[in-house]
């Protein structure tokens, strides 16, 4: 018969199964009747004839099965039967089912959740066409000067653009001004990304030049939220930082590059004549109202490789340009010794997610271990239950079920378990994913793209299938291979030896995984503790901060900036409850850097090799407001005004490094342009953005002597921070109605924010470790408890001949100890092998930290022994009389 | 070894499956018959030597039907009762001719060997 027909027939047989069964029954009835009639005709009594016919016919039920098999519906019928039978079995043992499904759900759900993050951030391509040719040029931020070299001299890039991410601007709105995050981009930015505008147009060549009309591109989110999705928005004028700009286009919703907070794209100002600005020019060389400066760093460079060009070829191209830069040195930076090493060409996605990669992969690995543990646990449960079901299997085998059929039946049960676990896990993941997104640092790139999508569902299905295989096959095969005789023989002694061996291996594996996870959690926890122990150098308690963002164009005049600061600080300081109020142009832990090359009298000999300082322009009370100790000399006073002598305060690190053998107070230093400042004091070191970060020398100068906007307020005040924040808001609103505030936070919160990543990692791994501990204990308990059950008779005999309880307990504990020992040895070995992956995540803790490597296995071993105690105690309660009589 | 396999060996069918199929097809050569009549016919024509157990007959019938060798339809038996009748399909007829030839040459060959052994 040709195949389609056969399939059709089979399908019909399955679909019409019930009708065909009725058909078959009718045929059988007919056959029996004929047989009976025949017997009666030959002289047999009717009743006898019927009985004989039936006897000749054989088992009706068995016949039905065979008849169905012949009709070709056996497999499918069996399967649906298996599923129904499986569900019935699972329903009949709700505790087992709940524990197994719950265990799998935890394992699978955690994996799906972590995977949805890993997938969105690390695996999915960036939402741009042809992402393979999209590269990040150079590492870290660079200056416009360096960018123009790349743009004009590259032979391997078909297009290249630069952008300055996360540039805060004020947008004037009818009600009140708002602070927005913008990106300053060169004209070719959108061409490199190859994204078309949703409305209007993007920048064209020359729009980043000095004579271009002021324009702006708005994000989809801003268009929707602030302009009510106005279809007429293109062409409208909006005021940004005091400059009226024409909206030329709206970006599509998916375009959130360079960051999800980006609401506006402003053209950079790239002045070809800016090349005249050199390393000794003041920073205001070619500076525009949007803060442009030829030598300012922090610009990222992206590009498209030419057809057929490899990243390696592009890298040597860029390297060549780097050598040009070192020779010409338009800004001081190319003279840094490791300058050329930073000239990299990397895949843009890799570059963006670089920092998150290690953490995410470690989490994925850890959660994978949790799943392996869950599998082992469920496998163990199945083995245990399998032991209990041996008699059932033996009976089913004895009445004619084939071993293949039995193992399939068991496997269907496991598939059902896994499917239930997977479905519950997916449900769990819908809760876990949003939780995970809030747990991860907000600065994690592409966090907005994390969602539970088709990929995650596919992954979950795959993991569920793998789980069914891993946890189900071994127990199913073992159980189905049981022969009737074997089973009947062993039914009295409880758990057959092969079951126990397999279960022991599984429990040891669990303990091993538990040890590995506990070690990972211990390392991260200890690392976190070390981080928290770091003294940031200021007293964060009771300090409230806020970013003040005057529209730059309206506050371009220095005297206006001074006046704003003076008024705000004075009014705040005069408020009862406020201990001190001050401003700084760079707040510690606000996740920005304001590096400045400084010339040091008596130290610097080469004007092109200056040392980099963290620069903070502060009002006099800054040190008091922040609680930063002055180690030598004095803090700034109201006398350090614009018309006073130029002064500076340096950090201890700077003092040690540059004035080690000379008196520091009275020392001289200056910016790369002329104008010496006298050091009047030394302040305690302050961590800049991160407790883990190495100290950079810092220099403080009076705000009045080189004012700048925007700046941050720091207010030390007792009482509720919320009250202080609203006080700041009302004062600023009163003094400068056009100036929006942003990032109103307590200083403690800012410091806490910097450890979110470390805390998330430690917490997640701790959670996984705790889960592992729980699963491991359950596994150990279960195995030892069954062991005790099986050896009841032995214990009874021992007790009968006078063994004491203590020796029985010792006997049981020895079993547990063997399991634990094997698990611990394997676990420690595994953890050592994997320790390299942890290196980048740890702070001042070695990945092979001896304390952790001692404590974690001990904890696991101790817990395992604890789990053995209950069955051990039960072993001593065996009543020798009763037990032996039963035998 | 499992008990199932052991049982299967003991319960080996009296007729090999291929042989039973051939006998059924032969019986149907003359026309449509219902299951009981088929088993009766085989028993009679073999001089009461071959008894086809119902447990073998019906699975064989369904199998043949599944393979398209025979067709089944409900009809009225000579006793006036509703019964399921089986009849040869074109494919069945072709298979019957082929199988008959194969069987003849096979049994003839076996006979030759037996005669050669002087049995």
Domain containing B94 — which CATH number?
1.10.10.10
Q: Are residues A717 and A568 in the same domain?
A: yes
Spatial CA neighbour of A783 closest among A512, A502, A417 = A502
Contact with chain B for residue A72, Cβ under 8 A:
yes
Q: How confident is the model at residue A732 (pLDDT cuts 50, 70, 90)?
A: very high
Please determine, for residue A82, whether its predicted confidence score (pLDDT) is greater than 80.
no
Chain B residue with the nearest C-alpha to that of A63: B55
Q: How confident is the model at residue A479 (pLDDT cuts 50, 70, 90)?
A: low
DSSP secondary structure letters along A769-814: HHHHHHHHHHHHHHHHHHHHHHTHHHHHHHHHTT--HHHHHHHHHH
Q: Are residues A209 and A98 in the same domain?
A: no
Q: Give me the domain span that covers residue B89.
A: 3-116
Chain A residue with the nearest C-alpha to that of B60: A70
Name the region of A739 (left: φ>0; alpha: ψ -120 to 50; beta: rest): beta
Please determine, for residue A80, whether its predicted confidence score (pLDDT) is greater than 90.
no
Tens of pLDDT, residue by residue over A230-243, are 989 999 999 998 88
Task: Report the residue of B24, B40, B53, B55 to disrupt the A interface, i.e. the one with the largest count of A CBs within 10 Å.
Answer: B55
Q: What is the pLDDT of residue A78?
A: 66
Q: What number is the average pLDDT over the span A13-35?
A: 75
Q: Classify residue A813: in a domain, yes or no.
A: yes
Which of A32, A47, A71 is the last residue in one of the domains?
A71
Tens of pLDDT, residue by residue over A642-660, are 889 999 999 999 999 999 8
Q: Give the total number of structural domains in chain A.
A: 5
Q: What number is the average pLDDT over the span A816-839?
A: 88
Name the residue with higher pLDDT: A608 or A492: A608
Interface subset of A 400-459, CB within 8 angstroms of B: 400-403
Q: Are residues A810 and A866 in the same domain?
A: yes
Please determine, for residue A5, whether its predicted confidence score (pLDDT) is greater than 80.
no
Residues with Cβ < 8 Å from A881, sequence gap 6 or more?
Answer: none
Name the residue with higher pLDDT: A34 or A211: A34
CB contact under 8 A, A70 and B1: no
CA distance B103 to chain A (A): 22
Q: Classify residue A136: in a domain, yes or no.
A: no
Q: What is the pLDDT of residue A351?
A: 84
Structure tokens at A878: 């065996």
CB contact under 8 A, A70 and B2: no
Name the residue with higher pLDDT: A3 or A505: A505
Spatial CA neighbour of A445 closest among A791, A122, A100, A79 = A122
Q: Are residues A86 and A153 in the same domain?
A: no
Which of A739, A759, A783 is the last residue in one of the domains?
A739
Q: Give the total number of structural domains in chain B.
A: 1
Q: What is the pLDDT of residue A134?
A: 92
Contact with chain B for residue A39, Cβ under 8 A:
no
CB A24 within 8 A of CB A69: no
Spatial CA neighbour of A858 closest among A471, A376, A514 = A514
SS3 A697: coil
Q: Are residues A580 and A654 in the same domain?
A: yes
Q: Are residues A841 and A887 in the same domain?
A: yes
Contact with chain B for residue A75, Cβ under 8 A:
no
The overall average pLDDT reported for chain A is: 82
Contact with chain B for residue A62, Cβ under 8 A:
yes
b/e per residue A274-295 (b: at least 16 CB within 10 A): beebbbbbebebbbbbbbbbbb
Q: Are residues A597 and A717 in the same domain?
A: yes
Q: Are residues A190 and A325 in the same domain?
A: yes
CB A547 within 8 A of CB A167: no
CA pair distance B22, B45, nearest whole angstrom: 14
Q: Are residues A149 and A275 in the same domain?
A: yes
Q: Are residues A267 and A394 in the same domain?
A: no
Residues with Cβ < 8 Å from A430, sequence gap 6 or more?
Answer: A452
Name the residue with higher pLDDT: A829 or A145: A829
Name the residue with higher pLDDT: A208 or A139: A208
Q: How confident is the model at residue A4 (pLDDT cuts 50, 70, 90)?
A: low
Cα distances (angstroms) measured from residue A834 to each of A343, A522, A746, A838, A870: 31, 14, 39, 8, 34
Q: In this predicted structure, which of A86-95, A238-247, A683-692 has the lowest mean pLDDT?
A: A86-95
Tens of pLDDT, residue by residue over A611-651, are 888 899 999 999 999 999 999 999 999 999 888 999 999 99
Please determine, for residue A705, whether its predicted confidence score (pLDDT) is greater than 90.
yes
Q: What number is the average pLDDT over the span A22-33?
A: 81
Q: What is the pLDDT of residue A75?
A: 55
Tens of pLDDT, residue by residue over A155-203, are 999 999 999 888 888 898 887 888 899 999 999 999 999 999 999 999 9
Spatial CA neighbour of A668 closest among A687, A645, A684 = A645
Q: Classify residue A132: in a domain, yes or no.
A: no
CA pair distance A498, A344, nearest whole angstrom: 58
Q: What is the pLDDT of residue A291?
A: 36
Q: What number is the average pLDDT over the span A658-678?
A: 89
Q: Classify residue A469: in a domain, yes or no.
A: yes
Q: Give me the domain span that covers residue A228.
A: 144-330
CA pair distance A620, A862, nearest whole angstrom: 58
Q: What is the pLDDT of residue A634?
A: 94
CA pair distance A581, A583, nearest whole angstrom: 7
Q: What number is the average pLDDT over the span A18-25?
A: 74
The overall average pLDDT reported for chain B is: 78
CA pair distance A826, A514, nearest whole angstrom: 11
CA pair distance A775, A510, nearest whole angstrom: 8
CB nearest A483 (choices: B3, B54, B60): B3
Name the residue with higher pLDDT: A22 or A396: A22
Q: Are residues A501 and A421 in the same domain?
A: no
User: How many alpha carbons fall within 13 Å on the CB side of residue A501?
Assistant: 5
Q: Classify residue A544: in a domain, yes or no.
A: no
Please determine, for residue A222, whether its predicted confidence score (pLDDT) is greater than 90.
yes
Q: What is the pLDDT of residue A654?
A: 93
Contact with chain A for residue B91, Cβ under 8 A:
yes
Q: Are residues A635 and A621 in the same domain?
A: yes
pTM above 0.80, yes or no: no
Q: What number is the average pLDDT over the span A782-804?
A: 79
Which of A695, A710, A739 is the last residue in one of the domains?
A739
Ranges of H-type helices in A3-93 = 3-15, 17-41, 46-57, 60-71, 74-92
């Amino acid at each position: 018969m040709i195949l389609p027909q056969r399939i059709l027939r089979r399908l019909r047989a399955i679909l019409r199964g019930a009708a065909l069964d009725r058909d078959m029954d009718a045929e059988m009835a007919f056959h029996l009747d004929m047989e009976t009639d025949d017997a009666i005709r030959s002289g047999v009594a009717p009743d006898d004839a019927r009985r004989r016919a039936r006897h000749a016919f054989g088992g009706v039920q068995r016949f039905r099965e065979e008849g169905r098999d012949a009709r070709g519906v056996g497999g499918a019928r069996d399967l649906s039967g298996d599923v129904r039978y499986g569900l019935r079995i699972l329903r009949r043992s709700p505790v087992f089912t709940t524990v197994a499904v719950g265990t799998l759900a935890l394992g699978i759900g955690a994996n799906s959740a972590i995977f949805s993050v890993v997938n969105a951030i690390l695996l999915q391509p960036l939402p741009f066409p042809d992402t393979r040719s999209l590269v990040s040029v150079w590492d870290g931020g660079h200056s416009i000067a360096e960018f123009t070299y790349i743009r004009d001299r590259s032979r391997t890039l078909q297009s290249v653009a630069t952008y300055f991410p996360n540039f805060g601007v004020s947008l004037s709105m009818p009600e009140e001004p708002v602070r927005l995050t913008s990106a300053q981009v060169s004209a070719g930015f959108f061409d490199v990304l190859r994204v078309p505008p949703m409305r209007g147009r993007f920048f064209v060549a020359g729009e980043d030049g000095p004579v271009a009309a002021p324009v702006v591109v708005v994000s989809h989110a801003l268009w929707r939220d602030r302009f009510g999705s106005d279809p007429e928005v293109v062409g409208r004028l909006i005021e940004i930082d005091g400059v009226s700009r024409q909206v030329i286009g709206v970006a599509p919703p998916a375009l959130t590059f360079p960051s999800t907070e980006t609401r506006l794209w402003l053209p950079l100002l790239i002045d070809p004549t800016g090349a005249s600005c050199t390393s000794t020019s003041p920073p205001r060389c070619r500076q525009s109202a949007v803060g442009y400066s030829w030598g300012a760093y922090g610009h990222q460079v992206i590009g498209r490789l030419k057809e057929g060009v490899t990243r390696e070829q592009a890298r040597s191209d860029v390297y060549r340009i780097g050598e040009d830069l070192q020779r010409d040195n338009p800004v001081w930076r190319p003279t840094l010794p490791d300058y050329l090493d930073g000239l990299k060409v990397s895949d843009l996605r890799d570059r963006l997610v670089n920092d998150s990669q290690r953490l995410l992969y470690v989490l994925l690995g850890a959660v994978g271990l949790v799943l392996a543990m869950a599998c082992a646990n469920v496998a163990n449960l199945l083995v245990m239950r399998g032991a209990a079901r041996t008699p059932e299997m033996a009976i089913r085998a004895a009445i004619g079920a084939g071993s293949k059929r039995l193992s399939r039946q068991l496997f269907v049960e496991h598939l059902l378990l896994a499917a239930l676990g997977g479905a519950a896990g997916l449900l769990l993941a819908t809760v876990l994913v949003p939780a995970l997104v809030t747990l991860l640092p907000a600065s994690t790139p592409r966090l907005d793209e994390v969602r539970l999508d088709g990929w995650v569902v596919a992954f979950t299905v795959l993991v569920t299938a793998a789980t069914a295989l891993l946890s189900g096959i071994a127990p199913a095969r073992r159980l189905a291979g049981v022969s009737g005789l074997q089973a009947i023989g062993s039914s009295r002694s409880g758990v057959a030896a092969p079951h126990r061996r397999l279960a022991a291996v599984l429990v040891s594996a669990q303990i091993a995984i538990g040890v590995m996870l506990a070690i990972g959690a211990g390392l991260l926890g200890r690392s976190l503790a070390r981080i928290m122990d770091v003294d940031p150098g200021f007293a964060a308690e009771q300090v409230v901060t806020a970013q003040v963002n005057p529209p730059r164009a309206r506050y371009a005049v220095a005297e206006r900036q001074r006046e704003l600061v003076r008024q705000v600080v004075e009014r705040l300081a005069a408020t009862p409850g406020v201990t001190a109020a001050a401003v700084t142009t760079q707040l510690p832990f606000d996740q920005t850097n304001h590096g400045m090359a400084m010339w040091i009298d008596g130290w610097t000999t080469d004007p092109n090799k200056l040392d980099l300082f963290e620069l903070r322009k502060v009002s006099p009370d800054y040190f008091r407001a922040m609680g930063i100790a002055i180690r030598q000399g004095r803090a700034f006073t109201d006398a350090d005004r614009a018309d006073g002598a130029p002064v500076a305060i340096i950090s201890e690190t700077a003092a040690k490094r540059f004035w080690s053998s000379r008196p520091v107070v009275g020392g001289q230093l200056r910016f790369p342009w002329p104008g010496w400042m006298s050091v009047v004091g030394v302040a305690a070191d302050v961590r800049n953005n991160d407790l883990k970060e190495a100290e950079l020398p810092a220099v403080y100068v009076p705000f009045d002597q080189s004012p700048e906007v925007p700046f941050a307020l720091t207010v030390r005040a007792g009482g509720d921070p919320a009250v202080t924040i609203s006080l700041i808001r009302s004062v600023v609103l009163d003094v400068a109605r056009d100036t929006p505030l942003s990032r109103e936070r307590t200083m403690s919160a800012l410091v806490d924010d910097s450890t979110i990543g470390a805390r998330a990692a430690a917490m997640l791994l701790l959670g996984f470790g705790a889960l592992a501990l729980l699963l491991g204990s359950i596994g150990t308990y279960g195995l030892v408890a069954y062991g005790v059950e099986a050896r009841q008779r032995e214990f009874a005999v021992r007790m009968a001949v006078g063994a004491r309880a203590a020796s029985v307990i010792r006997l049981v504990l020895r079993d547990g100890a063997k399991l634990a020992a094997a698990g611990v040895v394997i676990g420690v070995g595994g953890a050592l092998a994997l320790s390299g992956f942890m290196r980048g995540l740890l702070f001042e803790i070695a990945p092979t930290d001896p304390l952790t490597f001692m404590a974690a296995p001990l904890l696991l071993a101790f817990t395992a022994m604890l789990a053995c105690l209950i069955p051990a105690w039960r072993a001593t309660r065996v009543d020798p009389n009763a037990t032996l009589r039963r035998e | 070894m499992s008990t199932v396999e052991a049982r299967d060996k003991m319960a080996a069918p009296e007729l090999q499956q291929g042989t039973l199929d051939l006998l059924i097809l032969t019986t149907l050569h003359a026309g449509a018959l219902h299951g009981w009549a088929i088993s009766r016919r085989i028993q009679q024509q073999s001089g009461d030597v071959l008894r086809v157990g119902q447990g073998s007959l019906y699975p064989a019938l369904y199998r043949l039907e599944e393979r398209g060798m025979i067709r089944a339809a409900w009809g009225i038996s000579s006793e006036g009762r509703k019964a399921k009748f089986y009849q040869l399909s074109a494919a069945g007829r072709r298979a019957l001719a082929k199988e008959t030839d194969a069987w003849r040459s096979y049994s003839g060959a076996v006979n030759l060997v037996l005669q050669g052994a002087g049995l």
